[in-house]
A and B are shown apart, each in its own frame.
Chain A
């Protein structure tokens, strides 16, 4: 079983649209949406039969006001500015801001009155849905939550499990933007990363950084230049960058104004406009990616 992860560094280059097109072009793969901050893949796959499980991770401090002596030790020790001091009826009272709370437990441990509880926190959900193209494992973090790395890891583990159970030979992962914790959790140990970029200076800048990250974790990458005709000069410059770095460019997808219409119709572009030049380019790219996957070295772990 192979695992292909779609990433970009810069947001909005078309990761999810490309992932949806590859899902439509492929056969019987398991899909995973690791953009747990802002998951979108389900919007174009026609999901149904959702089985959602709560995602419980870490703890949040809660001050029991009745037992609190208002000494302020918690506010003094908290390094995350998560203890709010409020004046109620002429007295200073302390309260934990649950969004700012890091879940470190320092206040809980050092409170001289033992007045701080430390319950587990539910910070989102994950689940399996059926789609037109196979199972989709997806998840959502609550707004303002943290711990996205662990949820990403969980989604990938569940997707691999589902692929093993279904005898699927590919897990196709839609990743998050950036290069931080959820991105690292999305790419470690993958067989191949597809970097979706676009011909703009910001996208080129970010491509360099995400490529560095993939190199840091020794994951092979291939590049897709999306909306390539919006700036042909920069598309050539990206291709040149890739050649210098020894990265294969597996696709140049022209901009298609129908991409937005396809999204509104809730399908991928290759289904919405199969005759379009962009759909043809996506289909050709899929063949190249299959070739790259077949030759990708088996990662450890």
Chain B
């Protein structure tokens, strides 16, 4: 079962849910692999302290123009929707950071003057934390192209029956790439208008991708029921609730696991796992 942990809003506790769920799955005797797909700000390793193999660069192909072969016909610049190539009277220039690696320019070039080079987007490392398989991707500072790196992170998983994808915040291309192919989306929210507003975006994204979803309410406060009311209206199950306490906030801030710090939270995660096992059986 591939479970994406997502949220819309940042900082609602996606990584907290992803790592505590991974630990709960592993302790139930199941084989699990956690992918930190938040390559802009990867944090899961802070909680799980994994042993990682070498950081392998991930690159995307970009064009290189051989100006001796180029006759400046301009077809490469014309096909490029991203203005990554400037065909000038005496020279053809490539702007690698505008390139989307669509391959149009080297396919269209009639002189075979364009070859491919690698542009490094970031690094991916694979390893394990105890029995939990672990992969993380790290985007290079200043790099703006994120989806291919997330794609590579997900592609490192080999055979683990349970895969947990810690997704980036937002609802645009990086979040889409993380969610794609998931069997279930666990959407983490908090009982605030910001949390709820962005949860609604995440629900729309999951439903747009045909991924069934359920909710985890983090930092729950007794008597504040705005998440319940939203979920009832949208016909969404609330699968777990993690209360807000200063003690839990302190544990999380130091990279500690909530399931080790608090028996009630551990029970909530065990119940969440049972729900997910039930969903898988029904699917």
Answer whether A and B touch in the complex at a CB cut-off of 8 Å: yes
| Nearest A residue (CB) for B140 | A179
B103 at the interface (CB under 8 A from A): yes
B253 interface neighbour in A179, A180, A200, A212, Cβ under 8 Å: A200
- In the complex, the answer to whether A40 meets B141 with C-beta atoms within 8 Å is no
> Which of these binds chain B: A100-108, A240-248, A273-281?
A100-108
Q: Within residues 37 to 76 of chain A, which ones have a CB less than 8 A from any CB in chain B?
A: 37-38, 40, 43-44, 58-59
The main secondary structure of chain B at its interface with chain A is: loop
In the complex, what distance in Å separates the CA atom of A40 from the CA atom of B194? Answer: 6
- In the complex, the answer to whether B102 meets A102 with C-beta atoms within 8 Å is yes
B168 at the interface (CB under 8 A from A): yes
- In the complex, the answer to whether A40 meets B197 with C-beta atoms within 8 Å is yes
> Which of these binds chain B: A84-92, A130-138, A156-164, A258-266?
A258-266
The listed residue with most B CB atoms (<10 A of its CB), out of A103, A106, A144, A198, is A144
In the complex, what distance in Å separates the CA atom of A145 from the CA atom of B174? Answer: 10
The main secondary structure of chain A at its interface with chain B is: loop
- In the complex, the answer to whether A38 meets B41 with C-beta atoms within 8 Å is no
B236 at the interface (CB under 8 A from A): no
- In the complex, the answer to whether A266 meets B82 with C-beta atoms within 8 Å is no
Chain A interface: which size bin?
A: 35 or more
Q: Smallest CB–CB gap between A260 and chain B, Å? A: 5
- In the complex, the answer to whether A231 meets B253 with C-beta atoms within 8 Å is yes
Give the A-B pair count, Cβ closer than 8 A.
Answer: 178
In the complex, what distance in Å separates the CA atom of A230 from the CA atom of B82? Answer: 46
A294 at the interface (CB under 8 A from B): no
B54 at the interface (CB under 8 A from A): no
- In the complex, the answer to whether B41 meets A201 with C-beta atoms within 8 Å is no
A180 interface neighbour in B10, B174, B208, Cβ under 8 Å: B174
In the complex, what distance in Å separates the CA atom of A181 from the CA atom of B201? Answer: 20
Q: Smallest CB–CB gap between A257 and chain B, Å? A: 8
- In the complex, the answer to whether A144 meets B208 with C-beta atoms within 8 Å is yes
- In the complex, the answer to whether A230 meets B253 with C-beta atoms within 8 Å is yes
In the complex, what distance in Å separates the CA atom of A8 from the CA atom of B10? Answer: 10
> Which of these binds chain A: B156-164, B244-252, B259-267?
B244-252
In the complex, what distance in Å separates the CA atom of A179 from the CA atom of B102? Answer: 23
- In the complex, the answer to whether A199 meets B253 with C-beta atoms within 8 Å is yes
Chain B interface: which size bin?
A: 35 or more
Q: If A201-B254, A264-B193, A266-B193 touch, does A143 touch B204 (CB 8 Å cutoff)?
A: yes
- In the complex, the answer to whether B100 meets A10 with C-beta atoms within 8 Å is no
- In the complex, the answer to whether B221 meets A201 with C-beta atoms within 8 Å is no
- In the complex, the answer to whether A12 meets B15 with C-beta atoms within 8 Å is no
Specify which chain B residues have a CB less than 8 angstroms from the CB of A149 in the assembled complex: 144
Specify which chain A residues have a CB less than 8 angstroms from the CB of B143 in the assembled complex: 180
- In the complex, the answer to whether B171 meets A37 with C-beta atoms within 8 Å is yes
A213 at the interface (CB under 8 A from B): yes
B198 at the interface (CB under 8 A from A): yes
In the complex, what distance in Å separates the CA atom of A113 from the CA atom of B255? Answer: 57
Specify which chain B residues have a CB less than 8 angstroms from the CB of A43 in the assembled complex: 193-194, 197
Q: If A145-B172, A234-B254 touch, does A263 touch B192 (CB 8 Å cutoff)?
A: yes
In the complex, what distance in Å separates the CA atom of A179 from the CA atom of B138? Answer: 11
Specify which chain A residues have a CB less than 8 angstroms from the CB of B246 in the assembled complex: 230, 255
Using A12-B13, A266-B193 as known contacts, list a sample of 14 further A-B pairs with CB atoms less than 8 Å apart, ordered by residue number in A.
A11-B169, A37-B175, A43-B197, A44-B193, A79-B101, A148-B172, A177-B11, A178-B170, A181-B144, A209-B141, A213-B142, A216-B141, A230-B249, A234-B254
Shortest 4 CB-CB distances between A and B: which pairs?
A12-B11, A11-B10, A104-B102, A37-B170
- Measured CB to CB, the residues of A under 8 A from B are 8-13, 16, 37-38, 40, 43-44, 58-59, 77, 79-80, 99-100, 102-106, 109-110, 141, 143-146, 148-149, 176-181, 183-184, 198-202, 205-206, 209, 212-213, 216, 227, 230-231, 234, 255, 260, 263-264, 266
